[in-house]
Structure 1
Amino acid sequence: MRRGYKRSRTSKKGKFDPLDSQHVKHSHIGVWDLYEETQPQLAHIPGGSRLEPYLEILNSLPYVWRMIKDIGSIRACWFLLTVYLVIEFLASLLPAVSIWYSGQLLDIVQTAVDERKVDKNILLQVAAGRFACSVLTRILRYGKQKIAIPLNSRIKHFYSVHIFHAMARLDVPTFDDAAVQRQLEQSFPPDSRSSVAWDTVVMTLHIFSTVLQLGSQLSVLNGVLRGQRDGILLAVLSFSHTLFFWSFEVKPYLSGVWAATTKNADYIRMEGMKRLVSDPIHRKEIVAGGMWEYLLKDYKEAVERVADKAGDFYAALSVHRSRDKMRISTFLQDLFRELPQIVFTLRAVQYPASIPISLASLNLITQTTQTFTFKIFNLFEETGSISDKLSNVRKIYEVGIIPNKIPDGTTPFPEVHQSPNAGLSIEFRNVSFRYPGNDSYALRHISFKIEQGQLCVIVGANGSGKSTILKLVARLYEPSEGNILINGQDIKVLKLQDLRRATSVLFQDYTHFPLSIKDNIGLGDPENPKDEEKIREAARLGGAEEFIERLPDGFDTYLERPVKDYYSALPEGTTSLFGRPVDYGGIRHVGGMESSTNKTLSGGQMQRIALSRTFMRSLVSQPSVGLLLFDEPSASLDPTAEHDLFERLRQLRGNKTMVFSSHRFGNLTRHADLILYMNDSIVMEEGTHDQLLKKQGEYARIWMLQAQAFLP
């Protein structure tokens, strides 16, 4: 992001309320509304807003120290860091050495004016010295880049493990929490080429080297100009312009706490319509509905109404902040900029003979001032942004200790004398549950018991609460009320890892990992994920082996390739590369197009792969699993495949407890030991198939409705 356009992130406690007019400044920028906090933590101190970043740095120092120790534990990092620091130190002194040689040139000019002669040996030495400084600067810059590559790589890999651990350990309600999502987003930079830790190291060293460079240059410049007439005065005036410019003009575009939004209905609608016509998922409806002419007309009218106010927030902010405003400080800047020239001219009129040496001094001062201007601006900007960097270091470590919302139990499961292979019993006692952020109940006062080794089928309409029961049994969520017992023990006291090791689950909203089919199936049994014989057996039982074998890469086929292909524009006849279809939908990233992911498998085939993953832990030969949970396992299967699946499951079940949820009644319910019929978040009826038909309740009515569809 360009200078001044970084998003400020703060770890300050409290709440930012855009409607708090006493503490928040509201600005209109095009179609955008910008809200900036006007009373920071140190507002009662003069200049407190400038001190606040330094307070943030102080609060982050313990985490920085931990980061330094962690980096030191990486192989050979201390040696590389030491070399990098030495190079940075030497590079920061070279500009001062170059100024010293420039001072020697001034002496040569002074001697030439006074004595009308030039010492060629000294002149050659000075020229050689300045050339050596340039060469050494390039060598040090090259050396720093060579050292930076392995340093960055090792630090990045170290923290990638930390990040992976921080994210992988979170349970479902914790990960879904919006506050946790924001914390994760702020902790992990989108730029995968670097890391927060390495960026912090580089920035900190650069700030120290800049301070050293400025100090050494000032010291040498003072010695060079001390003997020159008006040299110190010219230097003071030149640097005064720089400091004056910084104090009045150099302000970050956005700092502290701020937020921006747009309430312009036309602009919001414009952006929505742009997404509508650019997203392929909507193309069929646009074409079939003949919508494009209406959309074009509506879009043009919205553009005319918004006019010049439309635009991205940062673009609008850039225009707003770059407007030329007539202020007294503008004229004072011009005056300070011209003062060195005026002083030089007056001195030249008064002492004509000193013109050559004064001109050389002015040139040296001008060049040094330009360098100083850039360095000072850069220093103050980085000093402010380093507080954000150090704050991000703290966040990296804080996300590693985010407490999960599902507390772990303390009781091992199963007990030593028990085996989950005999099946697990499940009992719900007056259980109610509401999903986070939802006022309505997904389950209301549910009570039932499934005995060990039973086949239970939960039936009902979509949204009746079937899937929620399975999620609570898997302890992805905690019940809002009531208790759940597994083998007679409260589920909350059981160790989570033990419980999940004894359970195999296939959810309705199953996912496919961006890995090979082999890995997608193998990860169903994390203890033996690479057992190829078992993977093939699981694929056969899941009904996936036949079509997987027909794929060009077989079990090594990626369902979604995690690494994209990039390439430039291709001839029209090029339809595939590397065995994947070319996506001509547009440029995805700078530098090329992106190949599409595998789209050759049907929904039924994708579900069979998910079923195969479940079979990795559902085999009778897997003694550690005693509970099998299937959420709508046949939703995408045809009737024949569904029948074959249920037959295999029943035959392979052994003594394990098996629970199905389904909105379709059929062969499975006829063989169930227990059927729970649900409607509107409660269990309406329970019993066997024959028992429920005799009751002639809702189950019997829906059974007859579905059966009639197959009768002549």
Structure 2
Amino acid sequence: MMNLTLKPIQYYWASLSMPFAEWPNCYPRDTSPKCAPPRAAANLLPRPIFEAWLESRTLPNNDAKDRLSPGAQRAVTGQNLSLASEISKKCALNFCAMIWNLHPYRLTILILFDIFRGIFPAFRGYSQAMILDEVQHLFSSSGDFDLSRLLRLLVLEVIRTALESALDLFSSNNEQILNNSIRFVMEQRQMEQRLRMDIPTMESAVVRELFQEADLFVRSFNGVANFGLLSPFDLIRTLGSVSELFSHIFVLYSLTRNETPGVLSLLSVASLLYPLFLPWLTPSKSYYNDHQNPLESRSAAKQEHFRSLAQNDAYRPEVILFGLGPWIMRNWSSARKVTLGLEHVNPTSQGGTGSLFSLLTPMDITGLITALHNVPLVLALQASSASLGSFTLYRNSLQSIVYSSRNCYNTVNLAFQSVFLLGAFTASMQVKPKMQPRPDKLQRYTPSPRGMRIEVRDIYFTYPGSTEPALRNISFSLEPGETLAIVGFNGSGKSTLANVLLRILEFESGQIVVNGCDVSKLDPTEYHRHVSTVFQGFAKFHATARTNIGVGSIDELKRTCAIETAADLADASHVINSLPRGLKTILEPPQGSNLSFGVPTCGGPTHERHGLSGGEWQRIAISRSFMRACRPEVELLVFDEPTSSLDAHAQNRVFNTISELSKTASGEPLKTVIFITHRLSTARRADKIAMMDHGSIIEFGSHQELLARNGAYASLYRASV
């Protein structure tokens, strides 16, 4: 197969979706002081295509407006036909233009060949009918037999079938290159869009269903017919079915009669033995999921692991905050190109034209040999006016008409369903992340050399499906370089507040100002570059220890010294040194934890796997955070119960390290620190303490100030000591 050089994806996609900067902003921020309900999911989406897609999923005569499950087939009704027409007008032409821009010449060849290949069966039937008529004529005649005409017809048939096979092989190879190219572009675009989405956007059930149907459209390019999916290439292939249908109709219309010695038995026996020899003559084929090559096998596993990392919600907080999107796309793209044969291709696995049998064995001589079974029957019925050739040609043409008609009908039905999947895909590509500010409101982040200044004003947040806000009337301020401890009972909203401050969750009302700028006007990706964290439910990646730590600063993943420094700061060096292969050891998460990604878990000495205890995993997560915390541009460190599984001595060492990272050698502040803890002895380290209860900050101040108040914090502190 030829190597493929892909043009930039933006070039192909310009005709399908609006540029990112031109996407409409459909959801203005609610600044009311009261807790507002979650924004409607439809406000996240481009209205015209989305509305037609959503309406097609609404069950008719249903007052409750129940919807079909994602991927369910739409009924062929007048309303759905109108919706399909509307979606086709808005999507189909631009989508076809994108495919055309990918490989215009190959696509032209594909269309022309599919039309001509539809005519080939009629020519094949006519040629074989002439041969069978000549065989019948020769064996039923008396006197001298002239075999020259029969031999000439046989030679022409061999030449015809060889040419047809060569054209079929070329066309199939051309189609495979086209299909794999568009599959790669579609899957890459889908992965990029999924990685662009933030958690508030994907919390909408309608958005998730939209992406499910978009995934089905992308899967249609895999050619998995049993899923009832139809790709544009299947639709192009219908041109061949239509031309075949009309060519056989013409054959039936123009059929004429024809009438033809120990060779007959030999031919009959050969036709019976042909299926036994066919497997020996036919070269084995390599299919998509049949990865014989070790490189392809590893690449297939790698691509699925990175796809899981991109699409699994369990990973999304760390994928978003640590900016893992480009790294995921690079690794997925390199693996996907190998499995699709777009690079590192083994020519022997692609069904090339390297041998004579590769041309001769695919030839469609099965029809001719099968027809020879009818020779004895026709000779026994000499009284019949029908010749063997006309009888066979008529029967084959009639069967082909029935088959082609059924194939065209099924294709039209699948095409009708695919229109709605195309609509879902197009709409999903235009979904805007909820926390991304409008281009005209976007501001640049203003760095601070002494840490991040944070002002939180009357923040409210409610989880989707809940009627009670998880955060209400949250207000406080932190000066650059200060440390805040957030304490409170379980379920009081501590982790939710941390995720809101990290811009993982979107608040509904109020305002957060960082370094004098409204955080809602900052690009979340830019904001996250200045933040590092340890999440309470941190990801336990089924990957090497190096990768588990290095994803905290993906640009330094290959710098062993940086990873070892981060592990040493987190007091995790002894954990790494105890592993069978050190940083190269694959860490195996506990049963029931996050899914695996990143490396195929094959057996063998180079893939030793190792489990860790809860405390050891926590040290790995802290090391991950310190990978980024050491960088000068990071101004805010957020730790959500970072030492819950560590003993008191290990806990003190970690917090001493945090204190050292947040200050210069002379004690000047460098970074603002926020940490959540249940251990009030640790909270004493902080400059300020926020006591939370039922989603609100009920007390705020220094340790001594809160003790002096003799309120909830003082009572809890005295109970703990």
- TM normalised by structure 1 equals 0.66
- Identify the residue that residue 272 of structure 1 maps to in structure 2: none
Does the 8 Å CA contact 1:100/1:221 hold for their aligned counterparts?
no
- Identify the residue that residue 432 of structure 2 maps to in structure 1: 403
Q: CA offset at residue 58 of structure 1?
A: 5.2
- Identify the residue that residue 165 of structure 1 maps to in structure 2: 192
How many residue pairs end up in the alignment?
528
Out of 637, 661, 686, the position equivalent to 1:652 is 661
The alignment status of 1:462 with 2:477, answered yes or no, reads no
Q: Secondary structure of 1:421's match?
A: coil
Structure 2 CA distance for partners of 1:605 and 1:170, relative to 1, 3 Å: same
1:135-187 Cα offsets, whole Å, 9 max, x none, are 44444444444444444443333333212211111111112222222222222
Does the 8 Å CA contact 2:74/2:417 hold for their aligned counterparts?
no
Q: Secondary structure of 1:478's match?
A: coil
1:363-407 Cα offsets, whole Å, 9 max, x none, are 432222222222221221122213444544454443222111113
1:222-262 Cα offsets, whole Å, 9 max, x none, are 2224899xxxxxxxxxxxxxxxxxxxxxxxxxxxxxxxxxx
1:196-219 Cα offsets, whole Å, 9 max, x none, are 899734312311111122222322
Q: Secondary structure of 1:628's match?
A: strand
Give, in whole Å, the separation in 2 of the partners of 1:382 and 1:105. 35
Give, in whole Å, the separation in 2 of the partners of 1:565 and 1:457. 40
The alignment status of 1:41 with 2:78, answered yes or no, reads yes
Q: CA offset at residue 414 of structure 1?
A: 4.0
Out of 172, 187, 211, the position equivalent to 2:242 is 211
- Identify the residue that residue 181 of structure 1 maps to in structure 2: 208
Give, in whole Å, the separation in 2 of the partners of 1:689 and 1:551. 41
Structure 2 CA distance for partners of 1:41 and 1:90, relative to 1, 3 Å: closer
Structure 2 CA distance for partners of 1:672 and 1:511, relative to 1, 3 Å: same
Q: Secondary structure of 1:355's match?
A: coil
Q: Secondary structure of 2:233's match?
A: helix
Task: Structure 1: state its 5+ residue gaps.
Answer: 1-8, 27-34, 44-48, 73-77, 229-347, 567-575, 582-597, 708-712
Q: Secondary structure of 1:452's match?
A: coil
Give, in whole Å, the separation in 2 of the partners of 1:384 and 1:53. 12
Structure 2 CA distance for partners of 1:481 and 1:85, relative to 1, 3 Å: closer
Does the 8 Å CA contact 1:474/1:500 hold for their aligned counterparts?
yes
Q: CA offset at residue 652 of structure 1?
A: 1.6
Does the 8 Å CA contact 1:465/1:680 hold for their aligned counterparts?
yes
1:259-274 matched pairs, under 5 angstroms: none
- Identify the residue that residue 605 of structure 1 maps to in structure 2: 616
Does the 8 Å CA contact 1:99/1:217 hold for their aligned counterparts?
no
Structure 2 CA distance for partners of 1:616 and 1:413, relative to 1, 3 Å: farther
- Identify the residue that residue 690 of structure 1 maps to in structure 2: 704
Out of 636, 645, 659, the position equivalent to 1:636 is 645
- Identify the residue that residue 536 of structure 2 maps to in structure 1: 508
| Paired residue type of 2:627 | M
Does the 8 Å CA contact 2:492/2:692 hold for their aligned counterparts?
yes
Structure 2 CA distance for partners of 1:171 and 1:671, relative to 1, 3 Å: same
Does the 8 Å CA contact 2:258/2:389 hold for their aligned counterparts?
no
* Deviation larger for 122-131 or 102-111: 102-111
Structure 2 CA distance for partners of 1:648 and 1:56, relative to 1, 3 Å: closer
The alignment status of 1:67 with 2:98, answered yes or no, reads yes
- Identify the residue that residue 5 of structure 1 maps to in structure 2: none
- Identify the residue that residue 407 of structure 2 maps to in structure 1: 378
- Identify the residue that residue 251 of structure 2 maps to in structure 1: 220
Does the 8 Å CA contact 1:203/1:386 hold for their aligned counterparts?
no
Out of 667, 691, 711, the position equivalent to 1:677 is 691
Does the 8 Å CA contact 2:541/2:597 hold for their aligned counterparts?
no
Does the 8 Å CA contact 2:549/2:620 hold for their aligned counterparts?
yes
- Identify the residue that residue 625 of structure 1 maps to in structure 2: 634
1:345-365 Cα offsets, whole Å, 9 max, x none, are xxx9xxx98614266534432
Does the 8 Å CA contact 1:64/1:390 hold for their aligned counterparts?
no
Does the 8 Å CA contact 1:523/1:613 hold for their aligned counterparts?
yes
Give, in whole Å, the separation in 2 of the partners of 1:171 and 1:22. 33
Does the 8 Å CA contact 2:531/2:637 hold for their aligned counterparts?
yes
Give, in whole Å, the separation in 2 of the partners of 1:390 and 1:129. 45
1:544-563 matched pairs, under 5 angstroms: 544-559=572-587, 560-563=596-599
Give, in whole Å, the separation in 1 of the partners of 2:130 and 2:389. 11
- Identify the residue that residue 677 of structure 2 maps to in structure 1: 662
Structure 2 CA distance for partners of 1:484 and 1:19, relative to 1, 3 Å: same
1:665-709 Cα offsets, whole Å, 9 max, x none, are 12x3222110011111111212211222222222122222222xx
Does the 8 Å CA contact 1:458/1:675 hold for their aligned counterparts?
yes
| Paired residue type of 2:451 | G
Out of 233, 237, 242, the position equivalent to 1:202 is 233
| Paired residue type of 1:385 | L
Out of 509, 513, 521, the position equivalent to 1:485 is 513
Give, in whole Å, the separation in 2 of the partners of 1:605 and 1:670. 26
Out of 492, 501, 525, the position equivalent to 2:553 is 525
Q: Secondary structure of 1:384's match?
A: helix
* Deviation larger for 423-432 or 386-395: 386-395
Give, in whole Å, the separation in 2 of the partners of 1:205 and 1:600. 51
Does the 8 Å CA contact 1:506/1:614 hold for their aligned counterparts?
yes
> Root-mean-square deviation (CA), in Å?
3.9
| Paired residue type of 1:453 | G
| Paired residue type of 1:633 | P
Does the 8 Å CA contact 1:425/1:451 hold for their aligned counterparts?
yes
Does the 8 Å CA contact 1:10/1:391 hold for their aligned counterparts?
no
The alignment status of 1:91 with 2:117, answered yes or no, reads yes
| Paired residue type of 1:40 | T
- Identify the residue that residue 101 of structure 1 maps to in structure 2: 127
Structure 2 CA distance for partners of 1:681 and 1:690, relative to 1, 3 Å: same
- Identify the residue that residue 616 of structure 1 maps to in structure 2: 627
Determine what percentage of the aligned residue pairs are the same residue.
26
| Paired residue type of 1:613 | R
Does the 8 Å CA contact 1:501/1:624 hold for their aligned counterparts?
yes
Q: Which structure has the higher relative contact order (CA within 8 Å, separation 6+)?
A: 2
Does the 8 Å CA contact 2:111/2:239 hold for their aligned counterparts?
no
The alignment status of 1:704 with 2:709, answered yes or no, reads no
Does the 8 Å CA contact 2:58/2:66 hold for their aligned counterparts?
no
Q: Secondary structure of 1:14's match?
A: helix
Q: Give the greater-gyration-radius structure (CA).
A: 1
| Paired residue type of 1:494 | L
Does the 8 Å CA contact 2:230/2:415 hold for their aligned counterparts?
no
| Paired residue type of 1:187 | A
| Paired residue type of 2:206 | A
- Identify the residue that residue 390 of structure 2 maps to in structure 1: 361
Q: CA offset at residue 526 of structure 1?
A: 4.5
Give, in whole Å, the separation in 2 of the partners of 1:53 and 1:223. 40
Give, in whole Å, the separation in 2 of the partners of 1:179 and 1:647. 46
Q: CA offset at residue 457 of structure 1?
A: 0.1
Give, in whole Å, the separation in 1 of the partners of 2:74 and 2:213. 20
Task: Structure 2: state its 5+ residue gaps.
Answer: 1-49, 260-377, 588-595, 664-668
1:611-664 Cα offsets, whole Å, 9 max, x none, are 112112212xx2211111111111222222211111111122112110111122
Q: Secondary structure of 1:437's match?
A: coil
Q: Secondary structure of 2:390's match?
A: helix
